[in-house]
Amino acid sequence: MPLSAAVDLRRIAAVVFDTDGVVTDTARVHAAAWKEVFDAFLRERAGRSGERFRPFDTAGDYLRHVDGKSRTDGVKDFLRSRGIMPDPRTVADLAARKDASFLAEIGGRGVAFFPSTVDLVRELRHRGVRTAAVSASRNCARVLHAAAVDHLFDVRVDGVDAARLGLAGKPDPALFLEAARRLGTTPAETAVVEDSLAGVRAGERGRFGLVVGVDRHGRAEELREAGADLVVGDLAELRLDGRRRGPLAPHL
């Protein structure tokens, strides 16, 4: 394993994990739900205006404009990318329809987790490192519970917290900074693990001690350009060096 994939636990006291696409295999479900909603909207708009219908692309459009962001920000940024001025009623309607589609999907099929991520979280906790799950989604608690991994994290910061506390969405680092605050660590001694460009940018802007990009879509160079210190295809590639001092976190 290359040295660049090593995490020095003498410098890192806590690790903050993005949820969708890093802990749980739900990024593809989000992308499919967005496609269903946006395609219906775009098809209806094209029929009224006579414009050519261009469907939502779950690779390009999702990754560039929606991935890692709150539903509201995702709607606004995608509509702007198509030259559509996002009015509040349309934004709220599309966001609500997407939420319903996503919940119906996970309700019917459940939620899978990435085994390599769970293995890493368990090992981090065994070595005395605290862990947090972060998501822009208001459904984060439901997703973690459905995947039966919610007990693995000391802290959760999600879209519910963002709305309650007025935290800006990624690429603003507010969600990650709140997670570090709750963990009792400084950003400099906290690592962020993300698969979205917006999330990696948030980690870099928050001056976190280590930003790990998980490349599940062939965007390694983009993740590096966004600020990732390490980029791996899977978290099984990470090596942990050392152990934290003091009492160990429970080995769950």
Q: What is the CA radius of gyration of the chain?
A: 18
Rounded Cα distance, 161 and 33, in Å: 23
Catalytic-labelled residue, pool 18, 61, 161, 195: 18
d(CA 121, CA 230): 17
Q: Reduce the DSSP state of residue 243 to 3 states and report it.
A: coil
Q: Annotated catalytic residue: which of 8, 20, 87, 119? A: 20
Distance CA 40, CA 12 (A): 46
Alpha-carbon gap, residue 134 to 159, rounded angstroms = 9
Side by side, which strands form the sheet with 130-134?
A: 155-157, 130-134, 14-18, 190-194, 210-214, 230-232
If 0-12 CB within 10 Å is exposed, 13-18 middle and 19+ buried, where does residue 91 land? middle
Match 């404009």 to its residue by tokens. Answer: 65
Catalytic residue check, 99: no
| 18 is a catalytic site residue | yes
Collect all residues with Cβ–Cβ distance below 8 Å to 232 and sequence separation of at least 6.
5, 212, 213, 214, 215, 238
CB atoms within 10 A of CB 246: 8
Say whether 14 sits in a helix, a strand or coil. Answer: strand
Give the Cα separation of 40 and 173 in Å (integer): 33
Among all residues, which ones are annotated catalytic?
18, 20
